[in-house]
Amino acid sequence: MPYLMAGFPSLRESIEIGLACVEAGADVIELGVPYSDPLADGPVIHQAATTALAAGISLAGALEVAGTLAQRIPVVLMCYANMVFAPGLDAFLDRLARTQASGLIVPDLPLEEAAPVRRACRRAGIALVPLLAPTSTPARMAQIGQVAEGFLYAVSVVGTTGERSALAERFEQIVAGAKASSSVPVAVGFGIATPEHAVQAASAGADGVIVGTRLVRAAAESKEPAQAVGALVGAMAAALADGA
């Protein structure tokens, strides 16, 4: 499950990157909405958001990307809480539903604040995907697992998004805990950067892996972002197919 930032490096290129991911064998695309204050993101994704914002891409642009990609692949929007609430919950979700997107991830919306969003998502036919962290207590894991829709996003590290050279020590435990807490599929994200990580995650029992920073960095560094990202996604898909 590749993550890409809508509008980065440009609106057109972010659509091309998404399509390249489809060709390379991605199953779901997680689409980041550029936000001014992304508290859960490390420097690479933060910088990509800043660049997109500077180019005038905000929610409208992100929804345009979502609408285009959703014709080819399930799209899950990753959007910070203030932007979800700003136009009013129902108005926001109505706009999102019209793009044919499948789900919504709000990284700064814990269980305590999620209920109204979850209800509005249900009304709009959008799955609200919750996050689960390595710091979550077993009781919280169970509660989060219970309300998960679409899939459960298991954050694999105590930290913001970013590449890590190795997966966290308690990684297997986290995946196992997530699996045990929910009947929906579990996707692991934050820190997954290589095909080896992906295979490791899959063999720990994850149903999906989310790769973000590595791909955003490739998009930032390459002259041919779509190709570069497509190649990385292809390598991971292949490794996962072999490993399976």
Partner 1 sequence: MCSTKVKICGITRLADAELAVSLGAWSIGMVFYRGSPRRCPLVEAGRISAALRRRVQLTGVFVNAPLEEIVSTADQLQLSIVQLHGDEGPAFCSEIARRTGAKVSKAIQVADGGDIREIERFHVDYHLLDAGGRQERRGARADVGHGAMAENGGRALRGGTGETFDWSLLESRRSQVPLVLSGGLTPENVCQAIALVHPFAVDAASGVEAAPGIKDPQRMRAFFAAVSGSGSTAPSALGAPSGLDTAPGCGPATARLARSNAPAVAAVEHHYGPYGGQFVPETLMPALIELEQAWVQARGDHGFEAELQQLLRRYVGRPTPLYRASRLSQRLRRSIYLKREDLNHTGSHKLNNALGQALLAKRMGKSRIIAETGAGQHGVATATACALLDLECVVYMGEEDVRRQQPNVQRMRLLGARVQEVTTGARTLKEATSEAIRDWVSTVAHTHYVIGSAVGPAPYPAIVRELQSVIGAEAREQILQAEGRLPRRVIACVGGGSNALGIFSAFLDDGEVELIGVEAGGEGIDTPRHGAPLTVGGRPGILHGARSAVMQDEEGQILEAHSISAGLDYPGTGPQHAHLRDTGRARYFAVTDAEAVDAFKLLTRLEGIIPALESAHALAWALEQRGGELDLICLSGRGDKDLAEVLRLG
Catalytic residues: 30, 41
Residue 74 or 191 with smaller CB distance to partner 1 = 191
Output the smallest distance, CB 136 to partner 1, in A.
6
Residue 39 or 238 with smaller CB distance to partner 1 = 39
Task: Note whether 172 binds partner 1 by CB under 8 A.
Answer: no
> HSE-up of 182 (CA within 13 Å, CB side)?
31
Pick from 155, 218, 219, 240 the residue near partner 1 by CB under 8 A: 155
Residue 83 or 211 with smaller CB distance to partner 1 = 83
Pick from 7, 107, 150, 195 the residue near partner 1 by CB under 8 A: 107
Output the smallest distance, CB 40 to partner 1, in A.
5
Which DSSP state fits 224? S
Total residues at interface with partner 1 (CB under 8 A): 42
- Quote the CA–CA distance of 189 and 241 in Å, as a whole number: 18
Q: Which stretch binds partner 1 (CB under 8 A): 3-11, 20-28, 136-144, 216-224?
A: 136-144
Output the smallest distance, CB 227 to partner 1, in A.
29
Sign of the Cα torsion 194, 199, 200, 201 reads positive
Looking at residues 58 to 97 of the shown chain, list those that interact with partner 1 (rule: CB under 8 A): 58-60, 80-87
Q: What is the CA 132 to chain-centroid distance, rounded?
A: 13
Task: Give helix then strand counts, H and E, for the chain.
Answer: 11, 9
Q: Which two tokens stand for residue 94?
A: 């109505």
Pick from 39, 91, 115, 180 the residue near partner 1 by CB under 8 A: 39
- Quote the CA–CA distance of 34 and 181 in Å, as a whole number: 31
Judge contact between 134 and 155, C-beta under 8 A. Answer: yes
Peptide bond into 9 cis (omega under 30): yes
Sign of the Cα torsion 118, 173, 179, 43 reads positive
Looking at residues 175 to 234 of the shown chain, list those that interact with partner 1 (rule: CB under 8 A): none
Give the angle subtended at the CA of 173 by the CAs of 107 and 77, to the nearest 5°: 20
Q: Which stretch binds partner 1 (CB under 8 A): 66-74, 128-136, 201-209, 223-231?
A: 128-136
Output the smallest distance, CB 219 to partner 1, in A.
19
Which stretches of the chain bind partner 1, using CB under 8 A?
35-37, 39-42, 46, 50, 53, 58-60, 80-87, 107-113, 130-137, 140, 144, 155, 158-160
